[in-house]
A and B are shown apart, each in its own frame.
Chain A
């Protein structure tokens, strides 16, 4: 049995990816099982989905703690979410990333694979730049890198179960299959070690009343684009502060805005409402090539 864990963001298609994988494995004549982790299903929030593929009916119904394969649909998650937790030594980590596979911020005890699924998906007109639909491209790459499913079965599953643009999705899967690059376990990673700071463990209050301010929760992981302010042109009108739904803009003593980067979800409202248009939404470091 092969156990696969998907990490993505709400709205990105991680859950659909696990379903398509299961359908494709079934078309390959195998016994699949897939299910989402139902948590805070918010657009942009990290989400998890699971798939198991075996030659006989799958006999466990639990979340996957020690996967053989981890699939990361959004490279930004590498810096904010412990995606490799429990990944078996010698297992496979597949990341949607434009970076050379050697430069993935990942442990070198596992096989690593990278595919620039965002570029492929955008090239095939799937989703938008801020929210590309990368799941079919990533599945193509997964078929090649893991052998869990055949590209042919994946194509048939896309035809049957993807309602819009099946041709584009099938082509994207083929491109993902063709362009995925792998390195073996043991090959050292040249990326600087990621210093991702987990949310501090919470001290439970005495009793059923919740009293810990949510400020301790970092929502930076939800962000794909980050506001960048050209302060030289800022008129200090404070619109960015006034309209922020996340309370993620502060004003300094002189009235200039400061983005609270731990909390900003990158919605882009501040850039949109800024009268002199001094705020640009820029790709985060992990998404940048």
Chain B
């Protein structure tokens, strides 16, 4: 028998109310495997409000507090302050918010928490839209994607604008640790959750979590879509520690984005030209990441003395 590559303990209970094939459910399961039970979590209004099952039940084996959609950053700051004030040690504080509760309405409180160097982890589970309310556009919805508020009708061909770059915004705050995670790569996901668990100061995880009803794909394809997102270079896996970038899943040639696009009904209206544009954009993003990794790499050898270099 193959040995387990991720911890056996489960801190997310079965019986939860996620849709079949739910990316955010798997993300929660993997996250808590990495963080363990000494975790206090705050979740805003999002899919997980409902997934977490109604009173008097709960789907998580940890202490969980609900907060309104825009204030997750402040909520985890309050939890951290209380733990510190009450001298309760060895507890991780985590906010687990959707892309709307992070990059749209939650951005102010997130920025505040990062700027204050709050000792807590903020996880954005990115299903690229307001899925709990029935698939409306968010700033994290990709360009050209259909949603109920960015219809494909007449001259409209889905969302007009580009996806907001949350990692760039977060990194401008110089967090202690930031990483992208993808439930299709459980070992990488759990390792980064553990790293976030053991770091101090503000940490951020950006999880891409495919949504079968929102992206319009069949529930068994969640993992395949996740793998394609990373292997096409669309959602590269990397981490940033003290400003140093490190790609955690190296890619040789990028897989064609076409495969990723074709699996999803929200891109059904796309023309070959749209795919070409996306390929180009993905390539530029990947090259930029490679450059950032090179430029921020700690020097392996001390710089040679100026005189020798000049000679």
Direct contact of A and B (CB under 8 A): yes
State the A residues within 8 Å of B (CB): 10-11, 40-45, 128, 130, 202-205, 208, 210-219, 222-223, 235-238, 242-248, 254-255, 260, 262-263, 265-269, 271-273, 281
A247 adjacent to B2 (CB under 8 Å): no
Q: Which 3 A-B pairs have the closest CB atoms?
A: A268-B220, A255-B1, A267-B20
Interface residues of B (CB under 8 A from A): 1-2, 4-6, 10, 12-23, 25-26, 29, 50, 52-59, 61, 134, 183-184, 186, 212-213, 218-224
* Complex contact A254–B1 (CB within 8 A): yes
Residue pair B10, A247 in contact (C-beta under 8 Å): yes
Q: Give the complex CA separation of A43 and B17 in angstroms.
A: 10
User: In the bound complex, what is the Cα–Cα distance between A45 and B18 (angstroms)?
Assistant: 9
User: In whole angstroms, how far apart are the Cα atoms of A141 and B182 in the complex?
Assistant: 46
- A243 contacts across to B, CB distance below 8 A: 26, 183-184, 186, 223
Contacting pair B50 A40 (CB below 8 A) = yes
The answer to whether residues A210 and B220 also contact, given A242-B6, A248-B14 and a CB cut-off of 8 A, is no
B220 touches A271 (CB 8 A): yes
Considering the chains assembled together, what is the distance between the CA atoms of A238 and B213 in angstroms?
A: 27
Q: With A219-B14, A263-B14 known to touch, is A213 a contact of B2 (CB < 8 Å)?
A: no
With A and B bound together, what is the CA distance between A48 and B20 in angstroms?
19
Taken together as a complex, chains A and B put the C-alpha atoms of A215 and B23 apart, in Å, by 20
Known: A42-B17, A213-B13. A267 touches B222 (CB 8 A): yes
State how many angstroms separate the Cβ of B293 from the closest Cβ of chain A. 28
Instruction: Identify 8 new A-B residue pairs, CB closer than 8 A, beyond the known A11-B213, A236-B1.
Output: A210-B57, A214-B14, A223-B20, A244-B26, A263-B14, A267-B21, A269-B220, A269-B223
The residue in chain A whose Cβ has the minimal distance to the Cβ of B64 is A210
| A263 x B15 contact (CB < 8 A) | yes
- Whether A269 and B57, one on each chain, are in contact in the complex, defined by CB atoms closer than 8 angstroms, is no
Residue of A210, A218, A271 near B55 (CB, 8 A) is A210
Partner of B222, one of A40, A204, A245: A245
Q: Do A245 and B218 have beta carbons less than 8 Å apart?
A: no
For A268, the closest partner residue in chain B by CB is: B220
* Chain A proximity of B43: nearest CB distance (Å): 13
Can you list 13 A-B pairs, Cβ within 8 angstroms, ordered by A? A11-B213, A44-B19, A214-B52, A217-B53, A219-B17, A236-B2, A238-B2, A243-B26, A243-B184, A246-B18, A246-B25, A255-B1, A267-B212
- By beta carbon, the residue of chain A nearest B66 is A210
Tell me whether A214 and B58 are in contact in the complex, defined as CB-CB below 8 angstroms, given that A243-B186, A254-B1, A267-B222 are known contacts.
Answer: yes
Chain B residues with Cβ below 8 Å from A262 are: 14
Of the listed residues A43, A130, A223, the one surrounded by the most CB atoms of chain B closer than 10 A to its CB is A43
Residues of A within 8 A of B220 (CB): 267-269, 271-272, 281
Q: How far is the CB of B48 from chain A (nearest CB, A)?
A: 12
In the assembly, what is the distance between CA of A269 and CA of B218, in Å?
Answer: 10
In the complex, A178→B5 CA distance in Å? 56
Between B13, B19, B52, the greatest number of chain A beta carbons within 10 A of the residue's beta carbon is seen for B19
Please state if A219 and B15 are interface contacts (CB–CB under 8 Å): yes
Are A245 and B29 in contact (CB-based, < 8 A)? Answer: yes
Q: Is the CB of B56 within 8 A of A210?
A: yes
Quick one: which of A208, A255, A268 contacts B219, CB cutoff 8 A?
A268
Are A214 and B20 closer than 8 Å at their CB atoms? Answer: no
Q: Which residues of A contact B55 (CB under 8 A)?
A: 208, 210
Q: How far is the CA of A41 from the CA of B51 in the complex (A)?
A: 11
Given contacts A42-B17, A210-B55, contact A269 B2 (CB under 8 A): no
Most B CB atoms within 10 A — which of A44, A45, A202, A218? Answer: A44
Identify the interface centre among A204, A214, A244, A268: most chain B CB within 10 Å of its CB.
A214
Q: A43-B212, A263-B14 are in contact. Are A247 and B29 (CB under 8 A)?
A: yes
Whether A245 contacts B56 by the Cβ 8 Å rule is no
* Contact, CB under 8 Å: B23 / A245: yes
Closest B residue to A222 by CB, please name it: B20
